[in-house]
């Protein structure tokens, strides 16, 4: 009983006939759908598997964020933690930290005055090194590296040229090795792969429930790996988006495909589970949920993305409670194709610092690309993975 033939059970999408198997005859009927929210704070009841009732509470409209208490039971939560431990948890890395050696970086001279002020330096370090400093850290760094001899908190052209990038890099790497919480993300993680864990009944059951809750085909849920994350005290994840905008820069990454080269994360939807109760802290924050307007450049320049420090100011914070699911759509549906459309930048979110205890979550994503045909083929080929 493995994923090898799971596609035969799903939605009648693939059918066994005397001639063999025929897949995709229902292509035309498969669209990405969205759940509908209600008034903020209101609850709707849905039946999963025709009987079990779950209560979906609307937390925000822009983007639509819903929470479902007790979506997983205690045994399931513990099981996902155990599975992750068996796989082995590793330090989480983000794209920037993962980059080998940064010899150069881009100075974010936003106002083009050929000088880098404090907020421009924050942004430079965030973008180039994935490091979030505070004002005291920055002043200390200027002092140590002699970057600002006149002490005006502005690094001029001449002052910056006196510092070699490698010097700056070494200083920063030492700082974050002593203070890992200054990274955008401070956690450990393990990946669960649907094909590797296809004989795990609990994992499969959860996937089925996710598909029924989201109202999306099980095979679509099977296209995504699952990430289990654990945070200790000071653990956090600064604000980010789970998906990527359409563009010609790189194709969407595919689960289980080796040697993909440069690729980006494309995730139509996020379904996040809390696997334990956190003693203090560890909420999921959405700094711009239900904001009237949104200016992407302001997010980077202001400190609202620095959730390690600014979580309390976020528009919405979801409490981590064992078994609860929180879900949102990282993309709109393209009305023309019925498939993944533009990204919804209001989904900016992250994990607040844990102050006491630990926090375990599991990220289930609905991983689609911008091509409906491509994804339908991948769903049909699932047994080849």
Ligand X SMILES: O=C(O)CCC(=O)C(=O)O
Cβ pair 155, 144 in contact under 8 A: no
- φ and ψ at 120, to 5 degrees? -70, -35
Size of the site for ligand X (CB under 6 A): 9
Question: Which of 167/227 has CB closer to ligand X?
Answer: 227
Q: Which does 229 bind (CB under 5 to 8 A by kind): ligand X, Fe ion, none?
A: ligand X
Is residue 283 near Fe ion by the rule CB under 5 A?
no
Question: Which of 124/238 has CB closer to ligand X?
Answer: 238
Is residue 288 near ligand X by the rule CB under 6 A?
no
Q: How far is the CB of 359 from ligand X (least distance, A)?
A: 7
Tell me the pairing of strands 20-23 and 14-17.
antiparallel
CA distances from residue 222 to 18, 175, 176, 339 in whole angstroms, order as listed: 27, 40, 36, 17
Stretch that binds Fe ion, among 28-36, 170-178, 215-223, 236-244 (CB under 5 A): 236-244
Q: How far apart are CA 312 and CA 326, in angstroms?
A: 19
DSSP secondary structure string, 103-166? -------TT-SSEE-HHHHHHHHHHHH-B---HHHHHHHHHHHT--TT-SS-EEHHHHHTS-HH
Is residue 229 near ligand X by the rule CB under 6 A?
yes
Is residue 243 near ligand X by the rule CB under 6 A?
no
Is residue 351 near ligand X by the rule CB under 6 A?
yes
Q: Which does 361 bind (CB under 5 to 8 A by kind): Fe ion, ligand X, none?
A: ligand X
∠ Cα 274 72 382 (to 5°): 95
Q: How far is the CB of 237 from ligand X (least distance, A)?
A: 5
Which of 123, 148, 159, 242 forms a contact with Fe ion (CB under 5 A)?
Answer: 242
Which of 203, 237, 328, 346 forms a contact with ligand X (CB under 6 A)?
Answer: 237
Is residue 344 near ligand X by the rule CB under 6 A?
no
Full 3-state SS string of 182-215:
HECEECEEEEECCCCCCCCHHHHHHHHHHHHHHC
Q: Which does 273 bind (CB under 5 to 8 A by kind): Fe ion, ligand X, none?
A: none
Binding site for Fe ion (CB under 5 A): 242
Binding site for ligand X (CB under 6 A): 229, 237, 242, 284, 349-351, 361, 363
């Amino acid at each position: 009983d493995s994923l090898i033939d799971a596609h035969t059970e799903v939605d009648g999408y693939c059918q066994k006939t005397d001639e063999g198997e025929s897949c995709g005859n229902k292509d035309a009927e498969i669209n990405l759908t969205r759940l509908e929210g209600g008034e903020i704070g209101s609850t709707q009841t849905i039946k999963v598997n025709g009987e079990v009732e779950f209560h979906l509470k609307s937390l925000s409209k822009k983007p639509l964020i819903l929470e479902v208490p007790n979506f997983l039971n205690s045994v399931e939560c513990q099981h996902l933690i155990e599975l992750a431990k068996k796989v082995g948890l590793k330090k989480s890395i983000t794209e920037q930290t993962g980059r080998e050696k940064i010899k150069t970086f881009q100075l974010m001279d936003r106002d083009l005055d050929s000088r880098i002020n404090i907020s421009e330096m924050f942004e430079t370090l965030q973008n180039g090194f994935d490091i979030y400093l505070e004002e005291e850290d920055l002043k200390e760094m200027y002092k140590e590296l002699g970057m600002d001899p006149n002490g005006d908190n502005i690094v001029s052209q001449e002052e910056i040229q006196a510092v070699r990038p490698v010097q700056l890099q070494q200083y920063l790497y030492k700082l974050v090795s002593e203070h890992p919480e200054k990274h955008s993300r401070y956690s450990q993680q393990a990946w669960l792969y649907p094909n590797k864990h296809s004989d795990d009944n609990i994992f499969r059951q959860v996937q089925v429930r996710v598909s029924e809750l989201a109202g999306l085909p099980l095979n679509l849920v099977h296209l995504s790996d699952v990430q289990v994350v654990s945070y200790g005290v000071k653990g956090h994840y600064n604000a980010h988006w789970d998906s990527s905008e359409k563009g010609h820069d790189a194709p969407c990454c595919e689960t289980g495909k080796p040697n993909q080269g440069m690729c980006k994360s494309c995730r139509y939807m996020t379904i996040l589970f809390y696997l334990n109760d956190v003693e203090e802290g560890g909420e999921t924050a959405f700094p711009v949920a239900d904001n009237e307007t949104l200016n992407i450049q302001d997010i980077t320049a202001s400190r609202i993305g620095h959730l390690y420090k600014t979580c309390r100011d976020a528009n919405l914070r979801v409490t981590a409670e064992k078994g609860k699911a929180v879900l949102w759509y990282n993309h709109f549906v393209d009305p023309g194709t019925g498939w993944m459309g533009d990204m919804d930048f209001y989904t900016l979110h992250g994990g607040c610092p844990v102050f006491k205890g630990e926090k375990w979550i599991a990220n289930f994503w609905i991983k689609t690309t911008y091509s409906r045909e491509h994804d339908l083929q991948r769903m049909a080929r699932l047994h080849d993975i």
